[in-house]
Each structure stands twice: as C-alpha cells, then as structure tokens.
Amino acid sequence: MADNGSANAPRPDLSLAGRTVLAVFAHPDDESLACGGTLARLADAGVRVVLMCASHGEAGSISDAALVPDGDLGGVRMRELRDAAAVLGIADVIVLDHSDGNLRWKDSPQFENEIVDAVRRYRADAVITFDEDGLYWHIDHIGVHDRTWDAVASMGADAPPLYFVTMQRGVMRGIVNAAQLKGGVSSFWGITPDAFGLSAPRPSFVIDVRDWVPRKLAALRCHRTQMGADNPMAWIDDDEARQWLGLEQFRRAPIDAAGEPLLEQLGEPEPQHAD
Ligand SMILES: [Zn+2]
C-alpha cells in the first residue's frame, strides 16, 4: 500500500462534499458487490450517491422460496435493494424497468436516454459503471457498460468523468476457499469464481475501503434472495471480507469529459497484484 493509504488516517475528502455521483448497474446487488465500499465511503464524505438499477432482477435465482411467497421476485428484490442502499448511504435509487437478461440487446436508445436524463437531472459530477468485462462476463453487465459508455460519451463536452469498476483477479476464489473451509459453498451460483476479474482491463487506481467493508458485507446480505448457503458471502466474517473485499479498483473511461477528477481523490496508485 502507499504510505498515505492507511484506512486509519483518511484524507479529509472535503472537496467531495456536495458532489453527486451516479452509479449505473444492472441488477439489485451489483452495486454492493462491485463497489459498495466506495459508494459508502463517498456517502460518508458528503457525496450524494445516486444509484440507477436497470432492471428489477426478476430473472435471478431465489435462495429460499419462502422469501417470495407471492412469486413477485422483482418486487422482493426492490425492497432488498432499498435496504442495501440505506446501509450504504445511497441518497436516491432509480429503478428502470428493462427486462433482466436482455440488457445487452433491448431498449438501447431508451436506456441511453434514461442515463443521460439522470446525469442531467442530478447534475452528476461523475458516473460509475461496470468495465467491459462485466465483472465476470455477465452479459447484462456488459450491456450496461456499453449503454452507459455510449450515453455519457454522447454528452460531448458536457460529459462528467466516467469510471469503470472491476474486481481483482483471485478475490472471489479466496472468498470461496474461505467459505469452503467453514463447510459452505459447493457450487457458487453456477459461476466459476475464477471468472471474476480474469479478463479485467488494468485499473489505474484502487480505493481502500477496508473500513467500509462491514457495511459492504451488510449491504450484500440485504439481498436475501441471493444469499443462500451456496453464496460465499453468507459465510465470511468481517475480517475475511476486509482481506478480500477491501480494495475496489477503477479506471477512467477514455472520453472527453468536462468535469475534474473525482474518484481519483480517494484513490491509491494502481494495485501491485500480478498480471
Ligand atoms: Zn448483476
């Protein structure tokens, strides 16, 4: 870590107060998994954090059918999302009604217009979304990356800085191993843990969120319909979460943007992990 990177001696972040950051993701729980620590840290620094969720997540699996007695998974996941947003200090949640599973192909002009409208309405000083790897090549996540990039770039000189978030390679494998040592997780959501970060573009800075990791984990666990015994996040404790989830990594999109750097103010130089 850089010598000024101690989570116990944070910089004052005063210049962030009063700013607005718009985070655009695909499903309820993406916000917590991808960068819940950064969103909470921004909120604590006085930033108005606005979350746009493109779908209700109605096509997801359900950890326990008793959690969705009326079969309305999208409705339940909305309540879970609002609980998670409250934990992270998110000021406003915008939920769009695009169909879960079709985000890469359907409703492109409409979705891009909705993103531009939100940037303008909230006067967003920065936008965060997935990088081109969609965390683990999730097709909806890649769709949201594409739509958000096109939407923000279309604003030309009015575009705020756009940031792409990825997960560090090996992190999810570490979490799964920790969970398995406790007897949990035989099959992880049907996703190989090694897919996370495997092809992530190189980040240009990381944000130390170790002090915010308990809230990140608590926010993840608000998504109860996703938090069955096969989810490693259900098994790890705060110390393990701090070890594996304490750094969130970003790069800035190569677009012309008028705004001054924002997320970089919380950042450390690029991580030292092996390629
Ligand atoms: Zn997702």
How many angstroms is it from 36 CA to the middle of ligand 1?
Answer: 13
How many angstroms is it from 12 CA to the middle of ligand 1?
Answer: 32
How many angstroms is it from 186 CA to the middle of ligand 1?
Answer: 21
Stretch (H or E) spanning 52: strand 48-53
Where residue 2 falls among pLDDT bands split at 50, 70, 90?
Answer: very low
How many angstroms is it from 10 CA to the middle of ligand 1?
Answer: 30
32-63, pLDDT tens digit by residue?
999 999 999 999 999 999 999 999 999 988 88
What's residue 188's pLDDT?
A: 56
How many angstroms is it from 44 CA to the middle of ligand 1?
Answer: 25
Distance separating alpha carbons of residues 49 and 23, to the nearest angstrom: 7
Q: What percent of the chain has pLDDT over 90?
A: 78
Residues 6+ apart with CB under 8 A from 264: 205, 252
What's residue 5's pLDDT?
A: 42
3, pLDDT greater than 50: no
Sheet holding 247-252, edge to edge: 92-95, 48-53, 20-25, 126-130, 162-166, 247-252, 205-208, 267-269
Query: What mean pLDDT is reported for the chain?
Result: 91
DSSP state of 209: -
To the nearest 10°, the Cα dihedral for 117, 119, 123, 127?
A: 170
Distance separating alpha carbons of residues 159 and 255, to the nearest angstrom: 8
How many angstroms is it from 29 CA to the middle of ligand 1?
Answer: 7
160-184, pLDDT tens digit by residue?
999 999 999 999 999 999 998 988 8
